Structure 1
Amino acid sequence: MNFLPITKQEMLERGIEQPDFVYVIGDAYVDHPSFGPAIISRLLESRGYSVCMLPQPDWKRKESVQEFGEPRLGFLVSAGNMDSMVNHYTVGKKRRRTDAYSPGGISGLRPDRAAVVYSNLIRQTYKKTPIILGGIEASLRRMAHYDYWSDQVRASVLMDSGGDLISYGMGEHSVLAIAEALAAGIPVNEITYIPGTVYRTKEMDSVYQGVCLPDYQEICRSKEAYARSVALQYENTDPVTGKTLIESYGTKGCIVQNPPAAPLTIQEMDDIYDLPYMRTYHPSYEKMGKIPAIEEIKFSLTSNRGCFGGCSFCALTFHQGRQVQVRSHASILREAENCRRDPEFKGYIHDVGGPTADFRHPSCEKQLSKGVCTNRQCLFPKPCGNLKADHEDYLQLLRKLRELPGIKKVFIRSGIRFDYVTADKDPRFLEEVAMYHVSGQLRVAPEHVSKPVLDAMGKPGHEVYLSFLKQFQTANRKAGKKQYAVPYFMSSHPGCTMKDAVKLAEYVRDLGFMPEQVQDFYPTPATISTCMYYTGLDPRTMKKIYVPRDPREKEMQRALIQYRDPKNYELVKKALELAGRRDLIGYGPKCLIKPGKGEQVSPGMQKKSRKKTIRNVHKKKGR
């Protein structure tokens, strides 16, 4: 067992004269199943295809993609584990200084819009060699999409890149089908029938029973048309009910999205995660400062895929779908045993989960034959009557992992859905989480407290989170432990007015501590929330929604959550004034900040201030 070749010398040492595929990736080469390129390359290798890895080629030199010569079947192209623009820029569009997926954490080793740039670079030399795009960047940009960084609607990456196909989603089924078709001699422009793929065509009439989205020119002109397009796309993310989608580009032809690939069976998931990964980065990076991203995931175990949570700001539905896919306990335990044999393993499994850790089966039995509902969510606005809220399988898995020799602690860091936990009437899961899987703090994501904002987010009402906190406290008392739920909050999400932001600040005040991490809403490609941000419409209802776009307002909303930080004083003060909440500027216990030096305060606040002063004087005099 060894790494796949990353140089021509390594290729020749393996006895490969011409590889079947060359895999161009924006990340450094890490052969771990938490990295998409590792899974796809090992899967192709297991089927007898030779694959050479070309990580982070110099996009300024076309010679950089010629390292292995022309592959026999085609180039695979991925921007990496993250969208390259998210990887490079903060929500404030400032350049990030580090890149966890590059040697030594160095930024700048991949281009902006990497999938497009790499594909065009390849096409400069290899005019007719098939190019298949994959990974999160291509998957979320497979159709026309709003691009936050250029503030415009951009065409499908297939139009801009010169690529031939997109393998969207996780890609295992579609990539194998593409490889088989190419190996059989089928021209790439005739591979139009594979689920989980997107292709270009000049003839719309050639598409059988397709649903036409608003065309590209229309969605560029009309935000309402764009919102309708997003709604149609989200209605067709299920492999059972999804239809073929067609997006016209006028004289340039059409982009056609085939329905999603079928979810993986348990056996297929097991087979994929049982492949012979090296579970670390290529040794050539050792002298370059290692790959920081490996630290958190090296001893983490993926137990599921897919998420029926349906948060508006999350692209998982668009990428992995709502049907949950799982591995068997035996497969996960085998991977845990592999972790134990690693010399660097200290006895701590960092995570056992996936998009949502405690989803281990479909939300209801109907999904298996009829697919997910297109017009309703499983958990929002309240749990569906058909929802099967059951943690028994996950509990059994966690118990088996805890019993393995040499395992000191099993953490759950990928997050649990607190509304799913409260929907489960059996308290044992939360009791065992409190007893065994929390180390002082449990991170949960209520995101906000205001109903209009939570409705826009697709999150449950605040009362559900409060119910969860009570259950967690009860579980802690039973465990004899003093542990806390640490909430994640998001500022500036569509629907959040300044008054809503103040309401969240008041809740933070009542918590008695300042959150260390606050996520300012980031309009990433292909989410419902991003559609709201761009159009000012909720695509689920087509109703208008307030959107905080002004950078100064976004700064104020974020500052309100961390109002105790002295550097946020002026921002918080301005926010309170704009919201008509000067009553929160003063000396009372409910105030967020004190008045400025020499600033006039209302008589009510003066009285409170004077009383407080008198009490302090009496206390000092012993009265």
Structure 2
Amino acid sequence: MSAAEMRALGWDGLDVLLITGDAYVDHPSFGCALLARWLIRHGFKTGLIAQPRWDTPDDFLVMGRPRLFAGVSAGALDSLLAHYTAFRKKRHDDAYTPGGKAGARPNRACLVYANLARRAFPGLPVVLGGIEASLRRVSHYDFWTDTLRRPLLMDAKADLLIWGMGERAILECARRLEQGRDLPGIPGTAWIDRLDADGRPANLPETLAAAPGIALPGHERLLAEPEQLLRLTQELERQVHRGDAWAFEPVQGRALVLAPPAAPLSTAEMDELYSLPFCREAHPAYTEPIPAAEMLRTSITSHRGCGGGCSFCSLALHQGRKISSRSAASILAEAKRLGAENMARGKGPVAISDVGGPTANMWQAHCALDAGTAQGGAASHAGGCRRSSCCFPSVCKAFVTPQRKHVELLRAAAALPCVKQVRVASGVRADLALREPDALAAYTGEFTGGQLKVAPEHCAPSVLALMRKPPLAVFEQFLESFARQSRAAGREQYVVPYLMSAFPGCTDEDMRILARWLRQRRWSPRQTQCFIPTPGTIATAMYYCGRDESGEAIYVARSDAARLRQHRILMSTLAGSDERQAPRAAERRKRPRSGSG
């Protein structure tokens, strides 16, 4: 992060500079740290500027001008989601900042950092990436200003936008610029082109010109016909899942062009990525602890991607539905490293807080119709699947989830001499767990630390259908099995349900149904969230246009008063109070959930 550190590595300059809205923690759960290690592994000298000042470009200049490009990310969360609650109140904390203090990154960090990079390095290519860029890559609804905004590249002074998981794309950017080649056409990227006389991109790379492409509704049409945002989001979801088509959106006389998605990493590539020499610590320049670093230090990422396809979840457009899994050997090797590091500190065997991903029991999950995935290769992207979810309206028969193997992996990790215990903190999908009772018994009896996270989200049938969640009967069956297995294991354990209010299509009466169901079970909810329309999701498009996926009109709690009223109904179960007595609980600020379905 400094010229002195650069010289200590024997570098006289950088090839790539990455700028991030998060503090620098050298852990694979921090995106820019992961990508920096990946670039260095492939021979590109990479530096990182974390949480720079945004009133001057001076912080960008501490290691000089990079040779190839500057990469910009807002960090682990969309910057506006990091700053504001569901009721548009300012948050007072930020888990990705020293001391947990809010305010270390600007609103719309991608825009601000990209413009500062242009000022600092005139003529240098600027590349956007990360979750904020990924989910704002096309026209999108912005909840915090209640407006439909143009694609991010139309406003940011950047040359290219990487969407989705960025390892392949960022490496190809570096290689092309090293060779003096153009950037447009890299899988998993977006760029701006001009429109030709036929209303199509005029300068398509040869690799895309032969295919017809998907014409998305243009920005002007979205403004005139709000329901078209739902169509656009559905088309993007299909593009990501099928993986073989490019797309474009006309915007005010120009075209936002989206290359086909980058292929998911194979098991061998995932193993290589997570074997890089992360020290799993915050940079020594920090004098205060970084909350997220403490939470994640002893966690292990086993896979990425999620087949759930929940309508409110950003994973469908970012990580995708294809699962990329690490091998058991790679995960066990990381567990050994964690244990050895803990023993070296004199702390004894390590307690591994989590072995998981977006959904823990999807490790090594794959579609039986996709060639290569079961053998550890990247998904074939055959393009034949028409489902919006592998789990809704019911779990697809072709969706293979080898949960017994996952349990064997967890047991092998727990048996290591340097490991005290292993937990599954990232949560499990109830409908998948019910498919393999032996695995569910193991999750319950061996790897639950007293509480198991599950996300039913609601209980009203119409709301669950809009969420693409399984019916309540599935969750109740899971609860019965969990209680039975906990008793058999002789342990007092609890399910921690994630619940949501004010979802598009959810009425006040739906919330009363949920509140009555909670009272019947004598549950006081702790993990609650009022729906936040984050950019890019199907649910946000439904919120914006007031229609469900079939085009039928639905009720939307749009005003803050209506949203708060619904949340109060949910929170009234906390102490048996009525709906009018829970305003403080309803407005309680929590760390935002980052998109798990």
TM value normalised by structure 1: 0.87
| d(CA) in 2 for partners of 1:570, 1:428 | 41
The aligned residue for residue 392 of structure 1 is: 404
Q: Which residue identity does 2:357 align to in structure 1?
A: G
Change in CA separation of 1:194 and 1:558 when aligned onto 2, cut-off 3 Å: same
Q: Which residue identity does 1:199 align to in structure 2?
A: W
Q: Secondary structure at the residue paired with 2:165?
A: coil
The aligned residue for residue 103 of structure 1 is: 98
Q: CA deviation at 1:105?
A: 1.3
The aligned residue for residue 221 of structure 2 is: 218
The aligned residue for residue 85 of structure 2 is: 90
Change in CA separation of 1:421 and 1:372 when aligned onto 2, cut-off 3 Å: farther
Q: CA deviation at 1:63?
A: 2.1
The aligned residue for residue 578 of structure 1 is: none
Change in CA separation of 1:221 and 1:346 when aligned onto 2, cut-off 3 Å: farther
Judge which range, 266-275 or 368-377, deviates more: 368-377
2:17 to 11, 22, 28: 22
Judge which range, 392-401 or 319-328, deviates more: 392-401
Q: CA deviation at 1:394?
A: 0.6
Q: CA deviation at 1:341?
A: 2.0
1:202 to 189, 194, 201: 194
The aligned residue for residue 589 of structure 2 is: none
Q: Which residue identity does 2:580 align to in structure 1?
A: L
| d(CA) in 2 for partners of 1:553, 1:196 | 39
| d(CA) in 2 for partners of 1:63, 1:481 | 57
**In the alignment, structure 1 residue 502 sits paired with structure 2 residue 497:** no
**In the alignment, structure 1 residue 301 sits paired with structure 2 residue 274:** no
Note if contact 2:349-2:417 (Cα within 8 Å) is conserved in structure 1: no
Q: Which residue identity does 2:285 align to in structure 1?
A: S
Change in CA separation of 1:345 and 1:319 when aligned onto 2, cut-off 3 Å: farther
**In the alignment, structure 1 residue 60 sits paired with structure 2 residue 62:** no
Note if contact 1:8-1:68 (Cα within 8 Å) is conserved in structure 2: yes
2:540 to 530, 535, 539: 530
Q: CA deviation at 1:319?
A: 0.2
Judge which range, 201-210 or 334-343, deviates more: 201-210
Tell me the alpha carbon deviations over residues 499-542 of structure 1, each in whole angstroms, 9 at most, x when there is no partner. 1100001001111131122111111111111111111122x322
The aligned residue for residue 446 of structure 2 is: 436
The aligned residue for residue 520 of structure 1 is: 530
Q: CA deviation at 1:448?
A: 0.6
Note if contact 1:147-1:154 (Cα within 8 Å) is conserved in structure 2: yes
Superposition pairs for residues 152-167 of structure 1, below 5 Å? 152-167=147-162
The aligned residue for residue 333 of structure 2 is: 334
The aligned residue for residue 582 of structure 1 is: none
Q: Which residue identity does 1:548 align to in structure 2?
A: A
Q: CA deviation at 1:91?
A: 0.9
The aligned residue for residue 470 of structure 2 is: 460
The aligned residue for residue 257 of structure 1 is: 258
Superposition pairs for residues 354-373 of structure 1, below 5 Å? 354-368=357-371, 369=380, 370-371=382-383, 373=385
Superposition pairs for residues 537-552 of structure 1, below 5 Å? 537-538=547-548, 540-552=549-561
| d(CA) in 2 for partners of 1:115, 1:256 | 19
Superposition pairs for residues 64-213 of structure 1, below 5 Å? 64-186=59-181, 190-203=182-195, 204-207=201-204, 208=209, 209-213=212-216
| d(CA) in 1 for partners of 2:470, 2:340 | 42
Judge which range, 292-301 or 221-230, deviates more: 221-230
Tell me the alpha carbon deviations over residues 556-586 of structure 1, each in whole angstroms, 9 at most, x when there is no partner. 2212222245696452799xxxxxxxxxxxx
1:8 to 3, 12, 35: 3
2:230 to 227, 231, 234: 227
Q: CA deviation at 1:18?
A: 2.1
Change in CA separation of 1:127 and 1:374 when aligned onto 2, cut-off 3 Å: farther
Change in CA separation of 1:128 and 1:400 when aligned onto 2, cut-off 3 Å: same
| d(CA) in 2 for partners of 1:9, 1:404 | 40
| d(CA) in 2 for partners of 1:293, 1:562 | 27
**In the alignment, structure 1 residue 246 sits paired with structure 2 residue 241:** no
Structure 1 unpaired stretches of 5+ = 1-5, 575-623
Q: Which residue identity does 2:12 align to in structure 1?
A: E
Superposition pairs for residues 551-570 of structure 1, below 5 Å? 551-565=560-574, 569=578
The aligned residue for residue 277 of structure 1 is: 278
Note if contact 2:571-2:582 (Cα within 8 Å) is conserved in structure 1: no
Could you list the structure 1 runs, at least 4 aligned residues long, displaced by more than 4 angstroms after superposition: 564-568
Q: Secondary structure at the residue paired with 2:495?
A: strand
Tell me the alpha carbon deviations over residues 151-195 of structure 1, each in whole angstroms, 9 at most, x when there is no partner. 111111111111111111111111111111000012xxx321211
Which structure has the greater CA radius of gyration?
1
Note if contact 2:244-2:261 (Cα within 8 Å) is conserved in structure 1: yes
| d(CA) in 1 for partners of 2:80, 2:251 | 24
Q: Secondary structure at the residue paired with 2:462?
A: helix
Note if contact 1:416-1:444 (Cα within 8 Å) is conserved in structure 2: yes
Structure 2 unpaired stretches of 5+ = 196-200, 372-379, 584-597
Question: What is the RMSD computed on CA atoms of the aligned residues?
Answer: 1.8
More helix by share: 1
Q: Which residue identity does 2:462 align to in structure 1?
A: P
Q: CA deviation at 1:109?
A: 1.2
| d(CA) in 1 for partners of 2:359, 2:324 | 11
Q: CA deviation at 1:372?
A: 6.6
**In the alignment, structure 1 residue 414 sits paired with structure 2 residue 426:** yes
Tell me the alpha carbon deviations over residues 331-357 of structure 1, each in whole angstroms, 9 at most, x when there is no partner. 111111111122257521100100110
| d(CA) in 2 for partners of 1:106, 1:482 | 36
| d(CA) in 2 for partners of 1:36, 1:522 | 23
Greater RCO, 1 or 2 (C-alpha within 8 Å, sep 6+): 2
**In the alignment, structure 1 residue 46 sits paired with structure 2 residue 38:** no
Q: Secondary structure at the residue paired with 1:560?
A: helix
TM value normalised by structure 2: 0.90
| d(CA) in 2 for partners of 1:166, 1:573 | 43
Q: CA deviation at 1:125?
A: 3.4
Q: CA deviation at 1:94?
A: 0.9
Q: Report how many residues are paired.
A: 559
Judge which range, 405-414 or 78-87, deviates more: 405-414
Note if contact 1:177-1:194 (Cα within 8 Å) is conserved in structure 2: yes
| d(CA) in 2 for partners of 1:372, 1:315 | 23
Q: Which residue identity does 1:274 align to in structure 2?
A: S
Note if contact 1:165-1:198 (Cα within 8 Å) is conserved in structure 2: yes
Tell me the alpha carbon deviations over residues 44-102 of structure 1, each in whole angstroms, 9 at most, x when there is no partner. 00111101111111110122222222210010111111111111111111111111111
Change in CA separation of 1:81 and 1:573 when aligned onto 2, cut-off 3 Å: closer
Change in CA separation of 1:345 and 1:25 when aligned onto 2, cut-off 3 Å: farther
Note if contact 1:363-1:387 (Cα within 8 Å) is conserved in structure 2: yes
| d(CA) in 1 for partners of 2:567, 2:29 | 32
Change in CA separation of 1:559 and 1:473 when aligned onto 2, cut-off 3 Å: same
| d(CA) in 1 for partners of 2:558, 2:109 | 27
Judge which range, 467-476 or 272-281, deviates more: 467-476
